[in-house]
Amino acid sequence: LHYYAGYGGGRKSVLPAVSSAETIQHNHAMLLHPKATTGVLDGNPVHEDMTEAAKLAKVDFILNIVTNSKQELVRAFAGDLEQAFYEGAKLVDEMYKVTIDRRADIVVVSSGGHPLDIDLFQAYKGIDNALEAVKRGGVIVLVAECPEGHGNEVFYEWMTNFNDLKRMEKEIKKRFILGGHKAYYLMKALQKVKIILVSVMPDYYAVNTFKLRTARALNDALRDAFDLAGKNAKVWAMPFGNITLPVVKTTQ
């Protein structure tokens, strides 16, 4: 699964892997499109552009693998660029997409433990997937140790220097840079939900720079979440939030 290309593998071995900086910039700027999101290929301009690039490179054979949560090999897919890729994506759906009957008021999510929560930059993946399971205006409780703080410096700089989405969008269109996109996603998430971070990260950065609420223990975070969402709030728990993609079977 991939934030804006939908899935990893396949055509990504050409774009971005062996593409020019200009080509990558053009492609990644399309992450602003509403269809450029995790688990979506149909109508996703990032995916379609990557596929076009791979075809121009005349890729005639690929070898992709799908792994489990322990990074163990589950299955390999080889052959035609598109056919092998789509078969792999289908297995990923079967393994990692989870159907839920409705969105919850509160989602408690772990990014999967070390090293996936080594810093906030890495741990954000849990927030991104949890957004699919929480109501607008709800609460996400992210349980991530973050012993190395915020991580990526560009992520930190963008959260420090840009205070609204429009400015971030303009910067992404002008000059995509790895790390800036994560700041954009976090800022976008904060417009939809409240986020409580349970970590060892200093409050000064978590609150002032990244605009998060904080708690030092999960029980404290849950108490705060129920205060915000109401005592009868519906709760979902995602222990492997980095690889779990909730899919709501009915529209809310």
Burial 15-47 (b: 16+ CB within 10 A, else e): bbeebeeebbbebbbbbbeebbbbbbbeebbbb
Radius of gyration of the chain (CA): 18
Q: Could you tell me the fold of the domain covering 10-97?
A: Rossmann fold (3.40.50)
Q: Could you tell me the fold of the domain covering 101-248?
A: 2-enoyl-CoA Hydratase; Chain A, domain 1 (3.90.226)
- Would you kindly state where each structural domain of the chain is located, as residue ranges? 10-97, 101-248
- Which of 162, 230, 171 is closest to 190 using CA atoms? 162
Let me know if the fold of 10-97 is the same as that of 101-248.
no
Alpha carbon 170 to its chain's center? 21
Mapped onto helix, strand or coil, the DSSP state of residue 194 is strand
The pLDDT tens digits along the chain (252 residues) read 998 999 999 999 999 999 999 999 999 999 999 999 999 999 999 999 999 999 999 999 999 999 998 889 999 999 999 999 999 999 999 999 999 999 999 999 999 999 999 999 999 999 999 999 999 999 999 999 999 999 999 999 999 999 889 999 999 998 888 899 999 999 999 999 999 999 999 999 999 999 999 999 999 999 999 999 999 999 999 999 999 999 998 654
The two tokens of residue 19 are: 């593409």
pLDDT, position 166: 93
Read out DSSP for 203-241?
A: HIIIIIIT--EEESSHHHHHHHHHHHH-TT--EEEETTT
pTM assigned to the model: 0.92
